[in-house]
Structure 1
Amino acid sequence: MRVTVRGWAVVVVLAASVGMAWQFGPRALNAVVTPLLVVLVAGLLTTARVDRPTVERTPVSDGFVGDRRPIDIDIESAGTVSATVRDAVGGGLSVVGDESAATTDSGDNDCEPVLETILEGDERFSYAVRLEERGEHRLGPLTLTVSDAFGLVERRFEYETQSSVLVYPHVYDLHGSARQTLSTVVGSTDEQDRTAFDSLRAYQHGDALRDINWNATAKRPDDDLVVTEYDTDADAGTVTVAADCHPGWADEAAIAVATITTYLLEAGVTVGLALPSGDTAPGAGDRHRWDLLRRLAILEGGDLEERQRQAADVLVRADAEGVRVVVAGRTVPFEQFTGRDEVGRHGRSTRGRAGGAGPGGSDRTDTGVST
C-alpha cells in the first residue's frame, strides 16, 4: 500500500496548514485541515481493509499468424472498490483496439491493456490480440491496483498466473507444378507397398488380376489361381518430410513443411515428420495434422542427423540461399511450389482463406491457408 501523488499533495497541504496554524493560530485553518485529514485517514483505512480479489483466466485457443483471439479475465471482489487492471502481453502478439480497454507501452517491447473500473462483485476484463508471429507466446502477469474513492491511497495486487497461445505457421496453397512434383514421391511409396511380400492365398472373386501369382499357380496340381498378398504394415506407404534449417530460418522452414504436410495429408497420404528436435511417427487425418502444426509452431533452427536426411522422402532446406525442397533427388525452390517470388520471410504472408475451426476453439478468423 502506498500514497499516490494526489495523496502526497494532500499531505503537503496538511503539513503547510499545521505550520501556518502554529504561527497564526488554528481557528482559521480548521475548515481546511480537518476535512483533508479525515479523507486521508479514511482512504488509508478503506484501502488497507480491501480483500485480495480473485482472478481467473479463460484459456486462449491456438491459431495461425494473422488470426485474432479474444482474451477474457474474470475478476471477483468481496466489495466495491475503484481499480485499475493491467495485463502484460508478450512479444509476438499485438493488442487490437477496443473501446473497453486502453493500451499502454510497458517499455520492454510488450504492451499492456489497461481497464479502469469499479469492481463490484464479478467483473470481466476483455480485450483482443492479433497473433503476429509463429511460436508460443505468453499473456500475463496481471496487476490489479485498488484505491480509495478520492485516489489518495492505492494498493497493488500482482497475479503471476499466465496463459499461453500457440501460433502456427502459415499454410499456402500449392501451385500446380508443385503438386505434380510431390505426386512422384507419393507414387513411389505406392509402388513400394507392392514390393513388401506377405503371403499367398487362393484367388477370390474381386481380386485384382495383377495380384495373381502365375508362377505359384503353375506349380499347383489343381487349376486354382493363387494371388499374392502384400504387407499392409503401418510403416508402408508413408511419406517422411524433414526440415533442415539454419538459425534464423526456422519460420521459413516451418511454413514450407506445414504447406507440404498439409497438402499430403489432405490427399490421404500417411505423413511422418523429422525435425532437429526429434521425429514424429507417421499418421493421417485431421488430428495428426494439428499435431504436426504444433511441432512446427515451436520449430527452432538446427541440423538434422544424417539418418534423418537419408530416410526423408521430402527434405526442406532453409538457409541464406533460400528455401529449397528436395524431392526424388531434385531440388526445387519453395517459391515455385506456391507461385510466389518470396514466401514467409519472418513467417508472414498477406492473404488468408476462411475455413473451419482449429483444435482449440471455433473463434478462428482464418485457417492459415493462403492462396
Structure 2
Amino acid sequence: MRLTRRGWTVVAVVLAAVVLSWRFGPRALNAVVVPLVVALLAGVVTVGRTDRPHVVRRPVAEGFIGEQRTVEVTIEADGTAAATVRDVVGNGLSATTAPRADTTLAGEETISYDVRLEARGEHRIGPLSIAVSDMVGLVERRFEYEETTPVVVYPRVRDLGGGPAVDIRTLASVADRHVDEEFDHLREYHRGDPLRDVHWKTAAKQPDDELVVAEYATDGDAGTVTVAAECLTGNDDEMASAAATVATFLLEQGATVAVTVPDGTRPPGSGNAHHRDILQLLAVAEPGELADRTRRDADVLVRTDGDGTTVVVDDREIPFARLRGRDRADGGRRNNRHRTANDGRRDRETDGQPGVTA
C-alpha cells in the first residue's frame, strides 16, 4: 500500500498548513486541514481492508499472422473499490486497443481488449496488475498476478495457385500413393511417373536401360504422406511456412499426412483437428537438422539453407518461391531479405477449404 501522487499532495498541504498554523494560529486552518486528514485516514483504512480480487483469464484462440483476437479477463471482488487494471502484451503480439481499464470493481466484471497476431510462435499475454484505490484516489494498493495466457500463432500458409503446373502436379502426385497396396503388374515408364515407383531391379535387366514402373492394386483411398522439414539457418519462419503450405495442400488432396521437424512430429492423420495439430507443431518449430534416416524416408522434404527453401519430391528439387509462384524471373531462389512487410498477406489461409479449416 502506498500514497498516490494526489495523496502526497494532500500530505504536503497538511504539512504546510501545520507550519502556517504555528505562525498564524490554528483556527483559521482547521477547515482545510481536518477534512484532508480525515480523507487520508479513511483512504488508508478502506484500501487496507480491501481483499485481493480473484482473476480468471479466458483462453485466446489460435490464429494466423495478421488476425485479431480479443483478450478477456474476469475480475471478481468482494467489495466495491476504484481500480486500474493493466495487462502486458508480449512479443509477437500488438495491442490494437489499450490493455488498460479504469473501472470500479463491484462483484464480477469482465475487462477486454484486442490484440493483433504479428509473428509465428507461442506468445504470452500477462502478467496482469490491479491497482485498487480509495474513491478520492489518495491511497493505492497494487495486486500482481503472474499467470499468463498463451497465444499460438500459426505460420503463413501460401497459395500455390500461381506456381508452375508441372511443379504442382509433382507435389500432388505423392497424395495418390498407397501404403497398403498389393503388387499388380509392371509396365513401361511414362514421362511424369514418380521415380519412387520405378522397379529398379527389373529395369536393370531391360535392354537399352528402359525403365519399368510397378503398378499396384488400389482401393481408391489416398495413402500416408510423410512431410519432413529442416532448417540449417536462422530462417525457421520460412521453413515453417513452406512445410505448412505443403501439408495443407496435401490434406486438401485427400491424403493422410504426417509431419516431422527436428524438434517434434505429428503422426499420420487427416481432417480439421489434425490440420490444427500440424499448424501447432510448425508454429513453434525451431532451426535444426533431421536425422539421415528421417530425411531419406520422407515423401516430401522441405529444406531451408543459405540458398533459400527447397521442396524435394522424388529427388526433384523445387524452389519454394517458384512453387508458390513468387520466384524471380531467372527462376532462382529468393532470400528472405527480398520480402516486404506486405508479402504474403493476400495468400489464402485455410478458411473455407474443405477438410482443413483451422
TM-score (normalised: structure 2): 0.80
On the 8 A contact 1:178/1:338 being kept in 2, the answer is no
Q: Partner amino acid for 1:49? A: R
**Which residue of the partner structure matches residue 125 of structure 1?**
111
**Which residue of the partner structure matches residue 10 of structure 2?**
10
**Which residue of the partner structure matches residue 183 of structure 1?**
172
- C-alpha change, 1:123 and 1:337, in structure 2 (3 Å) is same
Comparing 146-155 with 334-343, which one deviates more in the overlay? 334-343
- C-alpha change, 1:169 and 1:159, in structure 2 (3 Å) is same
Q: Partner amino acid for 1:7? A: G
Instruction: Return the alpha-carbon distance in structure 2 between the equivalents of residues 354 and 311 of structure 1.
Output: 29
Instruction: Return the alpha-carbon distance in structure 2 between the equivalents of residues 346 and 302 of structure 1.
Output: 26
**Which residue of the partner structure matches residue 364 of structure 1?**
none
**Which residue of the partner structure matches residue 27 of structure 2?**
27
1:253 to 233, 239, 244: 239
Shift of 1:353: 4.1
Shift of 1:262: 0.8
Comparing 302-311 with 278-287, which one deviates more in the overlay? 278-287
- Structure 2: state its 5+ residue gaps: 186-215, 328-333
Shift of 1:283: 2.0
- C-alpha change, 1:231 and 1:337, in structure 2 (3 Å) is closer
Q: Partner amino acid for 2:147? A: T
Tell me the SS of whatever aligns to 1:195: strand
**Which residue of the partner structure matches residue 205 of structure 2?**
none
Shift of 1:241: 0.9
Instruction: Return the alpha-carbon distance in structure 2 between the equivalents of residues 74 and 346 of structure 1.
Output: 39
Tell me the SS of whatever aligns to 1:242: strand
**Which residue of the partner structure matches residue 196 of structure 2?**
none
**Which residue of the partner structure matches residue 53 of structure 1?**
53
Shift of 1:192: 8.1
Instruction: Return the alpha-carbon distance in structure 2 between the equivalents of residues 70 and 309 of structure 1.
Output: 40
**Which residue of the partner structure matches residue 350 of structure 1?**
345
Instruction: Return the alpha-carbon distance in structure 2 between the equivalents of residues 144 and 35 of structure 1.
Output: 28
1:307 to 276, 288, 293: 293
On the 8 A contact 2:63/2:153 being kept in 1, the answer is yes
Structure with the bigger RCO (C-alpha within 8 Å, sep 6+) is: 1
**Which residue of the partner structure matches residue 181 of structure 2?**
193
TM-score (normalised: structure 1): 0.77
Instruction: Return the alpha-carbon distance in structure 2 between the equivalents of residues 352 and 306 of structure 1.
Output: 33
Q: Partner amino acid for 2:168? A: R
| RMSD over equivalenced CA pairs, Å | 2.8
Instruction: Return the alpha-carbon distance in structure 2 between the equivalents of residues 127 and 156 of structure 1.
Output: 21
Instruction: Return the alpha-carbon distance in structure 2 between the equivalents of residues 255 and 177 of structure 1.
Output: 21
Matches within 5 A, 1:1-371: 1-97=1-97, 103=98, 113-174=99-160, 175=163, 176-187=165-176, 189-190=177-178, 193-195=181-183, 237-341=223-327, 349-353=344-348, 356=351
Q: Partner amino acid for 1:161? A: E
The one-character-per-residue Cα deviations of 1:12-54 (angstroms, maximum 9, x if unpaired) are 1111211221232211211111111111111111111112111
Tell me the SS of whatever aligns to 2:79: strand
- Structure 1: state its 5+ residue gaps: 98-102, 104-112, 198-228, 359-366
Tell me the SS of whatever aligns to 2:128: strand
Instruction: Return the alpha-carbon distance in structure 2 between the equivalents of residues 259 and 353 of structure 1.
Output: 10
On the 8 A contact 1:184/1:328 being kept in 2, the answer is no
Q: Partner amino acid for 2:326? A: R
Q: Partner amino acid for 1:52? A: R
Q: How many residues align?
A: 313
Q: Percent identity?
A: 50
Q: Partner amino acid for 1:351? A: R
The one-character-per-residue Cα deviations of 1:73-97 (angstroms, maximum 9, x if unpaired) are 1112122211100011101111113
Q: Partner amino acid for 1:264? A: L
